[in-house]
Amino acid sequence: MSGAGRNRPRGGQKSGGHENNGRRDRGASGAGRNGGAAKRTGGVVRGSGGSSNWSDEGRRSGVVSKRSGGEVRGGGAKRPGGGARRGENAARAGGYGRSELREHGGRSQRAEPPVRGEVREDRPAERKSGARRGGAGGSGAAARSGGQPQQLLGMGRIKGEWMDIRLPDGLVGAPLSVVAKYLPLPPKHLSKLMQNRGCLLQGANLRLHLFPREQRDYPSDWMELNILYEDEFTLVVNKPAGIEVHPSEKGQRKTLAHAVAAYYEMTGQDLRVRHVHRIDKDTTGPVLYAKNEFAQYQYDKGMREKTIGRVYLALAEGGIEGNKGRIDKPIGQDRHHSTRRRVSETGDPAVTHYEVVERFTDHTLVRLHLETGRTHQIRVHLSSINHPLAGDGLYGGKRTVISRQALHGERLIWHHPWTGDKQQVTASLPDDFREALDKLRR
């Protein structure tokens, strides 16, 4: 698997066909997620399977790392049982790339961001102060909290399984019921933390047990993966064609879920596999994973409220009329075919927006934005207007230029679970899709 370390310096490429990084040392003194001497400002990643480009929001709290397959350049200090040594150990195990560590003034420095791709976190400049110390968060988090008059607390330091927040002077001595109003935690999750002694308040210090060790829920199947993005809350994997996101029948193996479980195992992360959305077996592009219960709640909410955006590129047969359009047709299951879907008046509402990117003699390249996320939505909608996807035999497409449906997830947009800042990754076109376009251009 490709990618930078989880907010820690790691070497970064393939091991036995599985691109990974060094292991994490949880709970050890000074060696947790952001404990002691370790500074989690990790990195700039350069690679071919996808790309990301990002700013300082996560780095100020010590938890953001971007990955896209290739050389990893990150900052970080040595720490007991991990730190800089992890990348070296992983490299011995599987030929990973090297991590270049740079220290300046006690804080990790990073190289220039990659030219291609884009993970962007735009925020007001004043938010840079106080995030590591639990200062008030910015307008993004406050807006997401439902219009509360106060700003939410910024992220604290992550140490092992805990987040430590230093309260601002105005909240020191306040009861937990008051402090809770300044946290992005849903009441149900906060109540669960309190019942399990996972929320500790003492003076100006608040500790939250947000990153507990968990029993992995899928067996590991090692395969090559391209990690587009990762931090303590989030994992984004660029799914290749021919692999399902999760098992569709009992006992099925070799799915993306099994590969992610293997990645977690190799990198020392005791986590469940929590996919937030799915894409079809032969569709390529980013898949979003939540790495803890809090992130899963926020991302599930984002799916319900349609704040998680997905942008696709598709090669449709024929010449689509007009440069832009909207397909609003409900989708239901085909009673005569167990795996097919069809436009049905009794189906679930489904809306797809499209715009033409490039025209060919007998095909049209379009970019699509999903307003809903029904099974096979793009494939059904384009087929319903007599422009099926090239290569999509299930819905009437021909396999003259590509052997699978020509559908690729180009971009994934989401909001950071804690800060609410907008983030996005872009995934490069896979080789077979690119070759199909080159063939049509010739």
Strands 103-104 and 107-108: antiparallel
What distance in Å separates the CA atoms of residue 225 and residue 208, rounded to the nearest whole number?
A: 32
Q: Residue 203 — pLDDT band, cuts 50, 70, 90? A: very high
* Residue 13, pLDDT above cutoff 90: no
Q: Give the pLDDT of residue 373.
A: 87
Residue 227, both tokens: 């990690």
Q: What is the mean pLDDT of residues 64-83?
A: 39
Strands 72-73 and 99-100: parallel
SS3 of 301, please? helix
Residue 282, Cβ density class (10 Å: 0-12 exposed, 13-18 middle, ≥19 buried): buried
Residues 6+ apart with CB under 8 A from 17: 222, 223, 224
Crossing angle for the helix pair 293-304 and 187-195, to the nearest 10 degrees: 170
Helix (H) / strand (E) containing 106: none
How much of the chain exceeds pLDDT 70, in percent? 66
Q: Each residue of 83-131: pLDDT tens digit?
A: 444 344 333 333 333 333 233 333 333 333 333 334 444 443 333 333 3
The DSSP secondary-structure symbol of 127 reads: G
SS3 of 359, please? strand
Strands 309-317 and 99-100: unpaired
Q: Each residue of 232-290: pLDDT tens digit?
A: 999 999 999 999 999 988 989 999 999 999 999 999 999 999 999 999 999 999 999 99
Residues 6+ apart with CB under 8 A from 253: 219, 221, 247
Q: What is the mean pLDDT of residues 215-242?
A: 96
Q: What is the mean pLDDT of residues 8-34?
A: 39
Question: Taking a C-beta distance cutoff of 8 angstroms, is the pair 294, 233 a contact?
Answer: yes
* Residue 316, pLDDT above cutoff 80: yes
Q: Give the pLDDT of residue 338.
A: 79
Q: Give the pLDDT of residue 339.
A: 86
Helix (H) / strand (E) containing 150: none
Q: Residue 150 — pLDDT band, cuts 50, 70, 90? A: low
- Between 128 and 330, residue with greater pLDDT: 330
- Sheet containing 324-328: give its strands across: 324-328, 351-359, 363-370, 309-317, 407-415, 422-426
What distance in Å separates the CA atoms of residue 84 and residue 87, rounded to the nearest whole number?
A: 6
Helix (H) / strand (E) containing 429: none
Q: Give the pLDDT of residue 102.
A: 31
Q: Where are the alpha helices (DSSP H) in 123-268?
A: 139-144, 176-179, 187-195, 256-266
* Residue 169, pLDDT above cutoff 80: yes
Q: Residue 80 — pLDDT band, cuts 50, 70, 90? A: very low
What distance in Å separates the CA atoms of residue 182 and residue 144, rounded to the nearest whole number?
A: 12
CATH class for the region spanning 309-412+431-441: alpha beta
Residues 6+ apart with CB under 8 A from 153: 134, 135, 136, 137, 165, 167, 168, 171, 182, 183
Q: What is the mean pLDDT of residues 206-221?
A: 95
Q: Give the pLDDT of residue 151.
A: 81
Q: Compute CA 238 distance to the chain's CA centroid, rounded to the nearest angstrom.
A: 9
Does the predicted model carry a pTM greater than 0.75? no
Q: Where are the domains of the chain?
A: 14-101+223-304, 129-208, 309-412+431-441
Q: For this structure, is 280 an active site residue?
A: yes
Q: Residue 219 — pLDDT band, cuts 50, 70, 90? A: very high
Q: Residue 365 — pLDDT band, cuts 50, 70, 90? A: very high
Question: Taking a C-beta distance cutoff of 8 angstroms, is the pair 271, 26 a contact?
Answer: no
Q: Each residue of 382-434: pLDDT tens digit?
A: 999 999 999 999 999 999 999 999 999 999 999 999 999 999 999 999 999 99
Of 25, 280, 392, 421, the catalytic one is: 280
What distance in Å separates the CA atoms of residue 212 and residue 418, rounded to the nearest whole number?
A: 17
